[in-house]
Structure 1
Amino acid sequence: MNSSVMKRSMYLFVLPALIFYLLFWIFPILKIFQYSVSDYNGFVQKFNYIGMDNYISLFKEGVLVNSIKNTLIYTAVFVLFGNIFSLCLAFILNMNIAGKGVYRSVAYIPTLFSAIVVGFIWSYVYMPDSGLISSVLKAIGIDGSDFNPLGVGTTALYAIVFVEIWKNIGTNTIIFLAGLQTIPNELIEAGKIDGCSSWKLTRYVRIPLLAASITINVTLSVVNGLKAFDYPFIMTNGGPGTATNTLIFKIFKYAYNEQLFGKASALGVVAFTIIIIITGILVMNLRKKEVSL
């Protein structure tokens, strides 16, 4: 078989995947950009182009600012505390302790549940008066009837973020644990011989060598945080008020509750742009740090 025939065969193998990619990824993105400058309602194919009216309306109504603020707070808390908790848990599970295999399995269990199951479980945990936390508080002599983190605007978003941290801590821990197990024991032993304390070994040896794992976990956390939808929808439906309205939740609400598909598309374009910019900058900076280590 000559080289030209081989090249044609290679292109034929790639063609189905390319068609699938163009049809189900590129084409929908282009359509979203088209709909964002129209009054399309999601049902009638006839629509009018209205320029930047949808974007201007988002600014004037305050929807864009509120949704971006909530999403960025959600993402920042999720990335910071989710990765800190996961890293600490990975260090603990990497120690020579009895039954660590069981502990590792237990740590991963929350990841196995679907978002809707987790959302309903934690809605009960947070429930005022008869919820799990309120009941525990009553059992130890504390009045827990007013405990209602999902019903207070200042705490609802953070209560939901904690649920997502709990749900994803197993995945992040496994990635950190895999990174820890690739660190050569010779480096740790050499550090101990040189008189390094456990803290110095962690700070100057283990954490720098976890750069690749940190890049993966932080990137996944940022993407998951920026596209947060499941728990605001299941646990609070965006409330109280607009306290847990994230970008993706608001897109859903515009499109399917209010039939404002054009406005939803405009907000989708904004969300898409923010995600691409933030993840792009983040990955480039983290990769540079990996190379410099």
Structure 2
Amino acid sequence: MKKKKKSSGILSLVFPRRMYLFVLPALILFLIFWVIPVFQLFYYSITNFNGIDHNYDFVGFKNYLTLLKEGTLINSIKNTLVYAITIVIGSNLLGLVMALLLNLKLRGKGFFRTAAYIPALFSAIVVGFIWSYVYMPDSGMIASIMNLIGLDGSSFNILGNYKTALFGISTVDIWKGFGTTMIIYLAGLQTVDDSLIEAGKIDGCTEWQLIRKIKIPLISATITINMILNVIAGLKAFDYSFIMTNGGPGKSTNTLMFTIYKIAFTDQMMGKASAFSVVSFIVIIAITIFMLVFLNKKEVEL
């Protein structure tokens, strides 16, 4: 009797050697563009490398100690945390409210969904320049409206005040990003079974009770996703600090990423910037792990 040939097709695709060949290009790219740069980052953080001259010396943990003594690190962490908390609260509240409204049976809701998402399509550079003119004292849009209603538009200078500048640029980030948050909430709300809503209405629940007792608990996983995405966006904030305020006034809008850029490319202290990046990496990982644990716990409770 003739022996049957081994089946080919789908089974051949999972043959170990061939599988490794498929994965190999991705592994090579991961090694070149992630693993090697990370090791170089840790290496340069203990040197006085300036980014150009390769005749540098090892300085041990001097860069780390300098960062702590200067107070630059603490200030940047504080600004970044305030920025992240602001956009997490603002973007999620605005996105959830808009999603709840636009999930109702309203005429023209498709248009309003599209209009709310449009800002997310613009690049950060375009948005930054537009809002710089909106915030401009005396001749900007907000100042002009103040002048029209009899207020002093020249007194409006949100980006020039160290107490309000950080909230000014975080508001721009919320405006640009809440559309994406809204779309994710809409996707979550549309998975809620209509029969549960009808049952709640039969039991005499008000609209607020339906939202608090049925809708929000059922989209807890969606809330977790949006919170994590907004935390990540806040912790890597750079664009609007660079475009709108250049870290000012003073150091009031110096975020972690902006400070790393400034130390590395303006001050040309790549070793110190690498040390700053290492500390920032540890801080971001710690915050992310805390958020995941906290939100997963809340998700289970809901």
User: The TM-score by the shorter chain falls in which range?
Assistant: over 0.9
User: CA 1:10–1:286 in 2, change beyond 3 Å: closer, same or farther?
Assistant: same
Quote the offset at 1:292 in angstroms. 4.4
Q: Which amino acid aligns with 1:258?
A: D
**1:110 is the counterpart of 2:119:** yes
Deviation (angstroms), 1:27 = 1.3
Tell whether 2:68 aligns with 1:56.
no
Query: 1:288: Cα distance to partner?
Result: 3.4
Residue 191 of structure 1 corresponds to 200
Structure 1 CA distance for aligned equivalents of residues 166 and 177 of structure 2: 17
Equivalent residue, structure 2, for 1:71: 80
AA aligned opposite 1:252? Y
1:154 aligned residue? 163
Unaligned runs of 5+ in 2: 1-5
Larger radius of gyration: 2
Alignment equivalent of 1:205, drawn from 210, 214, 217:
214
Q: State how far apart, in whole Å, the 1-side matches of 2:301 and 2:243 are.
A: 43
TM-superposed CA distance for 1:66, in Å, is 0.6
CA distance in 2, matches of 1:284, 1:15: 33
In structure 2, the residue matched to 1:168 is: 177
Q: What is the alpha-carbon distance in structure 2 between the residues aligned to residue 286 and residue 12 of structure 1?
A: 39
2:132 aligned with 1:132: no
Structure 2 CA distance for aligned equivalents of residues 6 and 46 of structure 1: 49
The correspondence of residues 231-270 of structure 1 with structure 2, limited to 5 A, is 231-270=240-279
1:18 aligned partner: 27
Q: 1:7 aligns with which of 12, 16, 29?
A: 16
Residues 30-49 of structure 1 aligned to structure 2 (within 5 Å): 30-49=39-58
Instruction: Give aligned-pair identity as a percent.
Output: 57
Aligned mates of 1:270, 1:225 — CA distance in 2: 17
SS at match of 1:42: coil
Aligned match of 1:223 in 216, 220, 232?
A: 232
Deviation of 1:251 after TM superposition, in Å, equals 0.2
Pairwise CA distance, 1:195: 1.3
Distance 1:202 1:93 in 2: 14
User: Which residue identity is paired with 2:248?
Assistant: G
What corresponds to 2:3 in structure 1? none
Query: Post-superposition shift, 1:22?
Result: 1.5
The CA distance in 1 between the partners of 2:271 and 2:74, in whole Å, is 18
Q: Quick one: distance in 2 between partners of 1:6 and 1:291?
A: 40
Q: Which moved more, 1:93-102 or 1:42-51?
A: 42-51
Which residue does 2:98 correspond to in 1? 89
Alignment equivalent of 1:288, drawn from 294, 297, 300 = 297
Alignment root-mean-square deviation, CA: 1.5
Give the Cα separation in 1 of the matches to 2:166 and 2:290: 26
Q: What is the deviation of 1:131?
A: 0.4
- By how many angstroms is 1:280 displaced? 1.6
Q: Of 190, 207, 210, which aligns to 1:181?
A: 190
CA distance in 2, matches of 1:260, 1:72: 25
Report what 1:274 is aligned to: 283
Match of 1:122 in 2: 131
1:277 CA drift (Å): 1.1
**1:291 CA displacement:** 3.9
Distance 2:301 2:248 in 1: 44
5+ residue gaps, structure 1: none
- Which one of the candidate residues 27, 36, 47 is aligned to 2:36? 27
Give the partner amino acid of 1:191.
G
Q: Which amino acid aligns with 1:62?
A: G
Match of 1:11, SS?
helix
- Aligned equivalents of 2:221, 2:301: Cα separation in 1: 12
In the superposition, the TM-score normalised over structure 2's length comes to 0.94
CA distance in 1, matches of 2:207, 2:126: 40
Letter of the structure 2 residue corresponding to residue 235 of structure 1:
M
Q: Secondary structure at the match of 1:145?
A: helix
**Superposed CA offset, 1:91-113 (max 9, x none):** 11111111000000000000010
